[in-house]
Amino acid sequence: MTNLLAETITEVMGKDALLEPFKTAGGEDFFFYTRHKPSIKAGFFGLGVNATPGLHHPDMHFDTDALETGVDLFKAAVKKILG
């Protein structure tokens, strides 16, 4: 799945948009699910959004252009999976 998404990012956004993967727990609890039940796999990808002052801060303003980019990436990935 990671390779498929990497291919999709390159196709949709260009090769410069794809950065080397790195391990992170992010800010999500889903990471802990993978520790409790190793058969569950979790992965994250970022959209280059500057999350300042922070995702859970009341002054955080979400970049709606990034949302559109994320939807485009998921649509392209689903098309690849479904053929």
DSSP code at position 27: T
Measure Cα distances from 55 to 10, 45, 58, 73 in Å.
26, 15, 8, 21
Closest to 79 measured CA to CA, from 6, 20, 8: 8
pLDDT of residue 75: 96
pLDDT of residue 8: 94
Handedness of CA 12, 5, 63, 75 (dihedral sign): positive
Handedness of CA 49, 53, 57, 62 (dihedral sign): negative
Q: What is the pTM of this model?
A: 0.68
| Domains of the chain by residue range | 1-17+61-83
pLDDT of residue 73: 93
Question: pLDDT tens digits, residue range 8-61?
Answer: 999 999 999 988 877 766 666 777 777 888 887 777 777 877 778 877 788 888
Whether residue 78 is predicted with pLDDT greater than 90 in this model: the reply is yes
